[in-house]
């Protein structure tokens, strides 16, 4: 690793440590401090650090192992208990922002394809961002936390399927039903294999593990990487595989002693090193050089994105018998976008360049200014999500169960 890369990592960690700690002292998620640290030291303001190969690799590992740790922490029985509601919340939170985002983009002069890809960007929920926010606020093990995580997983799958359909449409001018069916079959096979392996195979292996020579830690790393690779083969993002791999080494599967050691090591690795690098680097993609019309477009997209998630996710929750306060928290909790937005937007830009070069399309699928607005929208919603949750969660706590209140107040669990 070059000395410049080492200096960049030092600056990132120092800024994240200082600003993250400052936000934690006023009971706000460290995530906010890390995002602002990226704005401060990144290309947007001081320009001390910028994107680079080493930072990108560490950031990718950060999002990957953050999802793995989330899988370790969450109880699958709670996820399954709220699975039906989570799917309804995901559908509402995907369809409404998509429809409203498409209309808003057309009003601001976007072509049909541009409006479709912008709309998909608004409908995304970044599961890794949501998991970090919920964990920072100590409510990831609550019923609301399980609903949000389950809905974010379903939303992520919907977004990837929609992305596959739209890119196929852009390449060929038509939706190929066969490819869509193959994608659904791959997803179903992936989850089916995961359930069988997790239920019958992994317990036989993990019961024999101790942490002699860190064998348990090595096994956990292998499980995460293999599951991430299999998720990619199934047409999903590797972070879905990492989350499911975390279920293989959760508290109920491995011995209590091994779980505590693994939990401590992964917590330190993620929250002390890889996680801050990831969240600081997210801000490197933010640019504030927009025209007046682009700022207006950004304002409309942010409003549509936030209200679309609140209404689209909140209405199904209310219909399922959740109180309106709890439904509001679910809607606000689905608003962070972050990494998945960057991945999708970058992929669209690269595909657009290829298709323009080949003469398949005559207009870009996404312009540079639209890309900038989408990234800013993702940043703003990621910034707003923990602040809005911090303001609304106490009202839910006063009306909710004791477990939720104990988690929110940081009581020993």
Q: What is the mean pLDDT of the chain?
A: 79
Tokens of 322: 């959740």
Low-confidence ranges of the chain (pLDDT < 50): 407-408, 411-413
CA dist., res. 286 & res. 39, Å (int): 8
The total of other beta-carbon atoms located within 10 Å of residue 253's CB is: 19
Tokens of 247: 């279920």
Name residues whose C-beta falls within 8 Å of residue 225's C-beta, 6 or more positions apart in sequence: none
The total of other beta-carbon atoms located within 10 Å of residue 294's CB is: 16
Domain limits, the chain: 3-408
Q: What pLDDT sits at residue 87?
A: 87
> Between helices 143-172 and 238-246, what is the axis angle to 10°?
150
Nearest C-alpha neighbor of 167 from the set 351, 333, 312, 318: 351
CATH number of 3-408: 1.20.1530.20
Q: What pLDDT sits at residue 19?
A: 92
Q: What pLDDT sits at residue 100?
A: 94
Buried b (16+ CB within 10 A) or exposed e, 348-364: bbebbeebeeeeebeeb
Q: What pLDDT sits at residue 339?
A: 61
pTM > 0.95: no
Q: What pLDDT sits at residue 137?
A: 67
pLDDT, one tens digit per residue, over 87-124 is 898 899 899 999 999 999 999 988 888 999 899 888 88
pLDDT, one tens digit per residue, over 16-47 is 999 988 887 877 777 778 888 988 998 888 88
Query: Quick one: three-class SS letters along the chain?
Result: CCHHHHHHHHHHHHHHHHHHHHHHHCCCCHHHHHHHHHHHHCCCCCCCCCCCHHHHHHHHHHHHHHHHHHHHHCCHHHHHHCHHHHHHHHHHHHHHHHHHHHHHHHHCCCCHHHHHHHHHHHHCCCHHHHHHHHHHCCCCCCHHHHHHHHHHHHHHHHHHHHHHHHHHHHHHCCCCHHHHHHHHHHHHHHHHHHHHHHHHHHHHHHCCCCCHHHHHHHHHHHHHHHHHHHHHHCCCCHHHHHHHHHHHHCCCCCCHHHHHHHHHHHHHHHHHHHHHHHHHHHHHHCCCCCCHHHHHHHHHHHHHHHHHHHHHHHHHHHHCCCCHHHHHHHHHHCCCCCHHHHHHHHHHHHHHHHHHHHCCCCCCCCCHHHHHHHHHHHHHHHHHHHHHHHHHHHHHHCCCCHHHHHHHCCCCC
Q: What pLDDT sits at residue 129?
A: 67
């Amino acid at each position: 690793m070059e000395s410049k890369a080492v200096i960049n990592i030092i600056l990132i960690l120092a800024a994240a440590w200082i600003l993250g700690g400052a936000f934690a002292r006023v009971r706000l998620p460290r995530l906010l401090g890390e995002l602002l640290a990226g704005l401060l030291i990144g290309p947007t303001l001081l320009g001390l650090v910028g994107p680079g190969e080493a930072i990108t690799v560490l950031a990718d590992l950060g999002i990957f192992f953050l999802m793995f740790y989330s899988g370790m922490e969450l109880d699958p029985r709670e996820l399954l208990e709220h699975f039906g509601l989570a799917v309804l919340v995901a559908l509402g939170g995907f369809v409404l922002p998509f429809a409203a985002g498409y209309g808003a983009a057309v009003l601001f002069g976007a072509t049909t394809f541009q409006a479709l890809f912008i709309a998909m960007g608004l409908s995304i929920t970044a599961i890794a961002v949501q998991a970090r926010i919920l964990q920072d606020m100590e409510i990831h093990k609550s019923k609301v936390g399980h609903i949000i995580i389950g809905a974010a997983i379903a939303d992520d799958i919907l977004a990837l399927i929609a992305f596959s359909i739209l890119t196929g449409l852009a390449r060929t001018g038509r939706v190929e039903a066969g490819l869509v069916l193959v994608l659904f079959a791959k997803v179903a096979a992936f989850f089916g294999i995961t359930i069988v392996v997790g239920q019958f195979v992994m317990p036989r292996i993990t019961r024999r593990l101790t942490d002699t020579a860190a064998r348990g830690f090595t096994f956990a790393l292998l499980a995460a990487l293999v599951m991430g690779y299999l998720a990619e083969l199934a047409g999903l993002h590797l972070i879905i595989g990492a989350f499911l791999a975390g279920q293989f080494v959760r508290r109920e599967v491995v011995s209590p002693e091994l779980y505590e050691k693994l939990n401590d090591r992964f917590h330190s690795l993620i929250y002390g090193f890889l996680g801050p690098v990831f969240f600081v680097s997210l801000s490197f993609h933010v640019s504030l050089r927009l025209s007046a019309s682009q700022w207006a477009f950004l304002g409309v997209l942010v409003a549509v994105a936030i209200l679309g998630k609140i209404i689209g996710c909140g209405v199904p929750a209310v219909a399922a018998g959740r109180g309106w306060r709890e439904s509001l928290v679910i809607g606000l909790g689905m608003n962070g976008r972050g990494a998945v937005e960057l991945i999708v937007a970058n992929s669209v830009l690269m595909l657009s360049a290829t298709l323009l070069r080949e003469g398949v399309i005559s207009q870009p699928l996404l312009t540079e200014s639209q890309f900038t607005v989408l990234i800013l929208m993702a940043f703003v919603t990621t910034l707003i999500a923990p602040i809005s949750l911090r303001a609304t969660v106490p009202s839910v706590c006063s009306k909710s169960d004791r477990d939720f209140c104990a988690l929110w107040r940081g009581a020993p669990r």
